[in-house]
Amino acid sequence: MRDFSRVKRIVVKVGTNLLSSEEGIDRKRVEDICHQIAELKGMGFQVILVTSGAIGLGAKELGHRNKVVHIPMRQACAAIGQPILMSHYRDAFRKEGILTAQVLLTRNDMNNRKTYNNLRASVATLLSMGVVPIFNENDVVSTAEIGSAFGDNDRMSAMVASKMDAGLLVLLTDIDGLYTGNPKKDPDAHLVTEVDEIDDEVLSWAKGAGSTFSTGGMKTKVLAARIASMASCATVIASGYKEGVLAAIARGEEVGTWFHPHAALTQRQRWIINNSHQGAVVVDEGALEALKKKRSLLPSGVIGVQGVFDEGDVIKVLGPDGTTFGKAVTGFDSTAISRMMGRHSDEVDTLFGVDHGDWCIFRPEDLVVGDETTL
């Protein structure tokens, strides 16, 4: 039984496909989404909207017919399309008596603790005034965020949901939810209504599929649900074409695919997960075992250092075969770790001429364990 009655904040993500029409934007769809968000607000929820569509709209404005792949051109399209997108939302929300605000984000804004705190405070202020903040990626400045596997708005919406403590993330798309196969080709494929654990089987159902102008597919949506679930936030993937879909979801009706929330990680752990890593340390089997038992990482267990990073940066922790084991906040920079790696702490004392005693590279509370898809 879905029960979202204790949810206060909902993040709604709208994809490019849903908004697109022959002429550029489907005004009716935008109006309908804004009307539905007004309904959610009427039910007492605070709503954050994450919208794609800037690149597609900009491309159409420039007369491009096919997917734009050249990154500077995608950025140019985003710069042209974003104000068009906002003007449609502004008009549609105005009809509902709702003010809107534009929030353009790069991943760095989330990574940096100070900008992240500023963001939280300003968005909380907007929400407390009844404004609907409308988020999109700041594609004009963030190249990694457009067209790359890490840069779709599905992922961004999950990070926003996680960082803004939302209880529910709704990913509106052009199909009913997650199917066990391709319903157009496979007669046995059926809609999955509920997912508890996002395991390999669930991921295998969600083969990546995109359309001309959008970035994500079902896979990015399922991965987004995983990010949200780690922040104790439920996710529903549903069709934006279904009438009154948002209110139906919020009432707990069985619409689309519902992904259960899981135990919340601490703010610090979420910050570590959502922070892009600056480099990596490779550790040996012994160290991996120690880390699994929640012990600190000592220099003797490090067998390699990758990249250049500072003390306090987030780094990846790789096993001896290079597979991702976790992400951690490092207590030393890459140069220091390169010097101390493989040595016992008393040797490191001699090397650095300091009787430090405890040369742990990071403590257990500064490590979040996970794999390539979750970190």
Q: How far is the CB of 212 from ligand GLU (least distance, A)?
A: 11
Contact residues toward ligand GLU (CB under 6 A) are 16, 52-56, 78, 136-137, 139, 152-153, 214-216
Residue 335, helix vs strand vs coil: helix
Give the DSSP per-residue string, 180-211: SS-TTT-TT--B--EESS--HHHHHH------
Q: How far is the CB of 99 from ligand GLU (least distance, A)?
A: 21
- For residue 66 the two structure tokens come to 């096919």
- For residue 134 the two structure tokens come to 């409308």
Q: Which is nearer to ligand GLU, 105 or 245 (CB)?
A: 105
Amino acid at 123: V
Summary count for the chain: helices (H), strands (E): 14, 15
Q: What is the dihedral of CA 220, 226, 230, 235, to 10 degrees?
A: 90
Q: How far is the CB of 72 from ligand GLU (least distance, A)?
A: 15
Q: Which is nearer to ligand GLU, 215 or 278 (CB)?
A: 215
Q: Which is nearer to ligand GLU, 72 or 342 (CB)?
A: 72
Cα(126)–Cα(46) distance, rounded to whole angstroms? 10
- The helix or strand, by DSSP H or E, that contains position 76, with its residue range, turns out to be helix 71-95
- Name residues whose C-beta falls within 8 Å of residue 192's C-beta, 6 or more positions apart in sequence: 177, 178, 179, 180, 202, 205, 257
Closest CA to 270 of 231, 233, 314, 226: 231
Q: Which is nearer to ligand GLU, 93 or 213 (CB)?
A: 213
Q: Which is nearer to ligand GLU, 51 or 334 (CB)?
A: 51
Q: How far is the CB of 371 from ligand GLU (least distance, A)?
A: 23
Give the DSSP per-residue string, 92-144: HHHHTT--EEEEEE-HHHHHSHHHHHHHHHHHHHHHHTT-EEEEEE-TTT-GG
Q: How far is the CB of 151 from ligand GLU (least distance, A)?
A: 7
Instruction: Decide the pairing of beta strands 302-306 and 280-283.
Output: antiparallel
Q: Which is nearer to ligand GLU, 55 or 92 (CB)?
A: 55
Q: How far is the CB of 184 from ligand GLU (least distance, A)?
A: 22
Q: How far is the CB of 191 from ligand GLU (least distance, A)?
A: 23
Q: Which is nearer to ligand GLU, 63 or 353 (CB)?
A: 63
Q: What is the dihedral of CA 210, 211, 212, 216, to 10 degrees?
A: -40
Q: How far is the CB of 152 from ligand GLU (least distance, A)?
A: 4
Cα(109)–Cα(93) distance, rounded to whole angstroms? 27
Q: Which is nearer to ligand GLU, 49 or 272 (CB)?
A: 49
Amino acid at 238: A
Q: How far is the CB of 30 from ligand GLU (least distance, A)?
A: 14
Q: How far is the CB of 256 from ligand GLU (least distance, A)?
A: 18
Phi and psi (nearest 5°) for 191? -75, 135
Q: Which is nearer to ligand GLU, 99 or 141 (CB)?
A: 141
Radius of gyration of the chain (CA): 22
Q: Which is nearer to ligand GLU, 227 or 361 (CB)?
A: 227
